[in-house]
Amino acid sequence: MIYPIVKFGNPVLEKPAEPVTVFDGDLKKLVEDMFESMYEAHGIGLAAPQIGFSKRVAVIDITFKGDENAKLVLVNPEIIHSEGKHTQPEGCLSIPEFREPVSRARKVTVRAQDINGKWFERCGEDLLARALLHETDHLNGKLYISHLSALKRDLMKRKIRKLVKAGEW
Ligand SMILES: [Zn+2]
């Protein structure tokens, strides 16, 4: 099932998501729906709160259907190591039409559970590192705009408020 993407302004995006403790068919269905909803929205990463579920689940496919093996499911993820720094324009499905340069670690290691509850570690560099950090942030109720200067963030929020008023958000 394809869900609409929850947009900035909805409180579900700014509260820490609940840990997953049950690894059952409902979780598998949620992950399936998340991939479908992410592809439909032309994204390369999606966190469960972005379709309205406050659960610590994220999916990533930086190849966008290019490689079945690149599909990544992260349950209860935690960044356990990060190094380096790079700055790249970043966007978010929940904040459409906006992109801003964000500085992030260039290389990270994430520790997470898979769909069956088995713990694993995964290293990522560049775009994958950025996606791992962006999605893990989502599960902590944090959006990429929190990494921008207060000035830039306020400007964006003002533009968004105008869009909301115009019924275009
Ligand atoms: Zn996002």
- Ion ligand 1: protein residues whose beta carbon lies under 5 Å: 92
Separation of CA 71 and ligand 1 centre (Å):
17
From the candidates 90, 97, 135, 168, give the one annotated as an active-site residue.
Answer: 135
- Answering whether pTM is above 0.85, one says yes
**Would residue 36 show up in a list of annotated catalytic residues for this protein?**
no
Per-residue H/E/C for 73-98: EEEEEEEEEEECCEEEEECCCCCCCC
| Percent of the chain predicted with pLDDT > 90 | 100
Instruction: Report how far residue 109's alpha carbon sits from residue 153's, in angstroms, rounded to the nearest whole number.
Output: 28
Residue 168 corresponds to which amino acid? Answer: E
Q: What is the pLDDT of residue 146?
A: 96
Given pLDDT bands bounded at 50, 70 and 90, which one contains residue 87?
very high
Give residues with Cβ within 8 angstroms of 135, minimum separation 6.
Answer: 45, 46, 47, 58, 60, 74, 77
What is the per-residue pLDDT across 99-140, written as a single tens digit (0 to 9) for each?
999 999 999 999 999 999 999 999 999 999 999 999 999 999
Q: What is the pLDDT of residue 52?
A: 98
Average pLDDT on 135-161 reads: 97
Separation of CA 64 and ligand 1 centre (Å):
15
